[in-house]
Structure 1
């Protein structure tokens, strides 16, 4: 009973904290373009010449003026952030007062050089990057679901859910027979999905992976094919070099024999006899 009471108090505090957050929250994924609205702009300035944007990455750092490198203003003075990355996450202020939060949802293998084809499994980390004033994410707000929409909990065939720590949710997926499956990470808040991202592990080439091949043609991995071409090229070069050397050697040998016995050249023997080089032997 006391535990339920504590959870209720925590939930009330969180809702109160979020209610005191002013401004809009924009969600995006890596590489996308994000448009941050400037609601408080003056409509008497249609050219947006008097509109200034400030940026704050951490609450402990001062605001900085935006230099517009990789960014631009839209016709309604909205700030367009192109090719969003983790460096762009933070608090934006239009005109110094209107606040807009830019959040980023990413999925990455852990470690970054993990090879599903080699290891037979891969650990995925779904991370929500956001400004520090928004606090940590509540437990259960970043679930994983499969291609059927089923929430993945604990451990089952083909996956192991490690849980959520702050704003990071971890899931290990294993190689299974059949086609590759799709895993989706979501950020849910106030009974709604704010943003989601999909991930399909590349298990192609493994012994347990079945590939649709109606003609029963063996599919050779690209890397093996490239190595075969390289080895064949080396063999051709070696054979060609041997044939050229052999031909040069034969030519030199013939010339040497001809020069050894030129016409009208006398050969002197130990017994004192002398014969022409072009004379026939008896």
Structure 2
């Protein structure tokens, strides 16, 4: 156990040098939000990418690109591509894409250049809402539409990070030693911790910060932003926009009621019209029969003797 922790400690020291840029190898930490595209750079010393390989690691290693050819056995192969400079492009990044990426180029068994090693960290927001009678949950990187005023909503903003060490939480290390911080802010960038309407809870162990509040009518189209900073410098952010599925609009409700009343009147008129016409025909026929009787057939009143 001691040897394992010593190895982890050594790895963390190396990781610290990567973050601060003091390593002799070209390593990088990329912070990105889910739902966008990202390009991971490779030290390309060749005229083409036929000798370029990209490997992904997180508890196990997977070859994504092997000598310029994409591995189609991976679930995300359709979102991967090589750019002209041999960088790895990932479309529509998800929280499952976080991890360790390495690029290498070999010609005749000899490595060309120092290679490139990239830690990809993904910021993602999920949401859940509930009311007194029911509850629902969903995941989103930008907005939530199945909500309405009066419901309580909780937004969970998490940074997905990977460090190859079992001795401590990757988040604890990153947040304590590298000055990382997660914040919920409003549209003008004001920290929502200053507003008593919001309940903000954070956990450096899980790289997470949550926001809980009860939605108001005026929250329609309001934006809340979860942002990640490193030593007070913005690295990435995710915006959550409140979009109601059935906004409370009095004018709209009045128009809807008027429309339903008109439809009801039309339906009644359509149903009653044939009956009225039939009654008119019957009355007309009876009146015609009376008019067609001969004078002698008309009963004379009895004269009292």
Q: Distance in 1 between matches of 2:217 and 2:147?
A: 18
**SS at structure 2 position matched to 1:142:** strand
In structure 1, the residue matched to 2:147 is 115
1:24 aligns with 2:28: yes
Cα distance in 2 for partners of 1:231, 1:177 equals: 25
Distance in 1, matches of 2:119 and 2:299, equals 107
Sort the Cα spacing of 1:170 and 1:239 in 2 relative to 1 into closer, same or farther, 3 A: same
Paired residues, number? 241
Matched, 1:184 2:187: no
CA-to-aligned-CA distance 1:181-235 (integer Å, 9 cap, x gap): 75432223355332223345568968xxxxxxxxxxxx5375x468536624641
Alignment partner, residue 93 of structure 1: 102
Stretches of structure 1 lacking an aligned partner (at least 5 in a row) = 1-11, 207-218, 265-274
**C-alpha contact (below 8 Å) 1:26/1:102 kept by paired residues:** yes
**1:124 aligned onto 2:158:** no
Asked if 1:220 is matched to 2:250, the reply is yes
The whole-number CA distance in structure 2 between the counterparts of 1:169 and 1:233 is 51
Deviation at 1:126, TM superposition (A): 0.8
CA contact (8 A) 1:32 1:84 kept: yes
Three-state SS of the structure 1 residue aligned to 2:164 is helix
Q: Is the 8 A contact 2:149 2:216 kept in 1?
A: no
The alpha-carbon distance between structure 1 residues 77 and 64, as it changes in their structure 2 partners (threshold 3 A), is closer
Once residues 97 and 260 of structure 2 are traced to their aligned partners in structure 1, the CA distance between those partners, rounded to angstroms, is 47
1:200-215 equivalent positions in 2, closer than 5 A: 201=242
Q: State whether residues 226 and 239 of structure 2, in contact with CA within 8 Å, keep that contact through their aligned partners in structure 1.
A: yes
Offset at residue 169 of structure 1 (A): 0.9
Q: CA RMSD in A?
A: 4.4
Bigger relative CO (Cα 8 Å, ≥ 6 apart): 2
Pair 1:14–1:62, CA change in 2 (3 A): closer
Change (3 A) 1:254 1:102: farther
User: Hey, what's the Cα distance between the residues in 2 that align with 1:233 and 1:49?
Assistant: 71
1:32/1:281 CA distance change after superposition, 3 Å:
farther
Q: 1:161 aligns with which of 195, 200, 212?
A: 200
Question: d(CA) in 2 for partners of 1:106 and 1:95?
Answer: 29
Shift of 1:127: 1.0
Change (3 A) 1:184 1:176: same
Alpha-carbon distance in 1 for matches of 2:251, 2:14: 53
The residue that corresponds to 1:9 in the other structure is none
- Partner Cα separation in structure 1 for residue 32 and residue 59 of structure 2: 21
Equivalent in 153, 159, 171 of residue 211 of structure 2: 171
CA 1:75/1:239 → structure 2, altered by over 3 Å: closer, same or farther?
A: same
Deviation at 1:69, TM superposition (A): 0.7
- Structure 2 contact 161–171 (Cα < 8 Å) conserved: no
The question of whether the paired residues in 2 share the 8 Å contact of 1:117 and 1:202 is answered with: no
Name stretches of at least 5 consecutive residues in structure 2 with no aligned partner: 1-8, 19-24, 66-70, 106-114, 130-136, 139-145, 301-305
TM-score normalised by structure 2 residue count: 0.59
The structure that is strand-richer by fraction is 2
Q: Report if the CA contact (8 A) 2:149-2:217 is conserved.
A: no
Question: Deviation at 1:82?
Answer: 1.8
